[in-house]
Structure 1
């Protein structure tokens, strides 16, 4: 097997796993609504109980005969989801549905998820650029003296997210033209980094608002690998019930990154 074939096969396996996670029974494609909770207890048509955001936490008041499963425990009556952390989620189950309770931008939300939701059952695989080894780049990590709190906008109007940025990564596109820098945030695993960005393909062949790139830990010399073939869409590329962050200032690349995931069919993109 040649290196080029191995590279393409590795990418194909990665992308297939991405699609499996995206189309999971309670993944983002299963979300049926996004509810911004207030102090006023409110009943919604896609979730049992009356929901509110209080000083105690998120409260659900279940009527007689209504029940939720929270962490394997059946709950009824009044239940408090206390001490929710920003960007964390807690899930309750109601039959085949999952109810996500979370804090986003300091505000409490409820997002019911139904495996039979049409967006999930009708999902067509996300189109992507063919894997291209030229876009598997080497870059350099440039840490700040101390992490900086960076406020970014969100696809949800009026919402803001705050992330710690430990530094920037610098790289040169495959066709040259000089170095570019991206502000990076901490990734989902220790030592890993995440870059939110747009580029000259955004709004043309890729989703307009944002794409995301995971970057492994820098080596001892500060070198990092940036494989733009694995640039991915965030949930907002598929559903209006997302609260995705937008890229920080300065993370719009003037070059066309013709690599990674493209505009999904859900947003008018081509068949995969």
Structure 2
């Protein structure tokens, strides 16, 4: 790729910038490689009316109007927040993108709702994907991939339907607005969604590197809460992969159509070695 960004900051301390990025990425990789993170997911089970067994965990699992249900036989045990569960357990309806964690020995069991479906995902620290993980390749951090932008809120949040890494699944997010920014002398906009921290945002996007040097389906960029005048900073050096870049047991959302950037963002995380 020969595309370059023209946004640079002459007064920026490049050494400090590099150190900050290294510290951030080490922390990000540590969370990714947690003993019970998404690299530890051993399978995904889609619950239905008929009770089913799930490899590696006790019980028969199903779902219905009362939400997920597990039926444990004598000798089976799960714990939730330290409380022992036995027999038939009804967990109650889950909210979209909600869920909780159960424990069985060394296995953590995610029970969640994604795209209108109740799912179960066991996570075990001995799962080969986690054990063999050696890190994610990245572009060398470069300040030219810092872009100043402006948050443009909608009059009211817009329900936005996006696809999923799981075939046939869709997600609906309430988009509070867009972020407009400039790279290489061109102006672009990204639809953004609420982030984890209060007031923060995130954008799902693809670009001209997607499917070449970066993961084809999506990348995610966290954006700090806008300033009082609406200004934001987009640091594409911190564009990261979602779980679906590593495992087929993910239900990650795909970017909305308008977030497919026509330029190459040669920054942030590249395609994981696990997908080559």
- Give the C-alpha shift of residue 124 in structure 1: 1.3
Name the structure 2 match of 1:244. Answer: 252
1:83 and 1:50 map into 2 onto residues whose CA distance is: 18
- Give the C-alpha shift of residue 83 in structure 1: 3.0
1:247 and 1:224 map into 2 onto residues whose CA distance is: 20
Name the structure 2 match of 1:261. Answer: 269
- 3-state SS of paired residue (1:172): strand
- Give the C-alpha shift of residue 51 in structure 1: 0.1
| 1:18 aligned to which of 1, 5, 28 | 28
Name the structure 2 match of 1:106. Answer: 116
- 3-state SS of paired residue (1:123): coil
Name the structure 1 match of 2:229. Answer: 221
| 2:156 aligned to which of 146, 160, 163 | 146
Q: Which runs of 5+ in 1 are unaligned?
A: none
- Give the C-alpha shift of residue 220 in structure 1: 1.5
Query: Alpha-carbon deviations, 1:51-86, whole Å to 9, x = none?
Result: 001211100001110000111101111111213221
Alpha-carbon contact 2:192-2:204 (below 8 Å) kept: yes
- 3-state SS of paired residue (1:201): coil
Q: Which runs of 5+ in 2 are unaligned?
A: 1-11
2:80 is aligned with 1:62: no
Query: Alpha-carbon deviations, 1:160-185, whole Å to 9, x = none?
Result: 00001011101111x32x10000001
1:252 and 1:124 map into 2 onto residues whose CA distance is: 29
- 3-state SS of paired residue (1:258): coil
| Runs of 4+ with deviation above 4 angstroms | none
1:179 and 1:166 map into 2 onto residues whose CA distance is: 20
Query: Alpha-carbon deviations, 1:8-55, whole Å to 9, x = none?
Result: 000001000111001101000000001000010111222110000121
TM-score by length of 1: 0.96
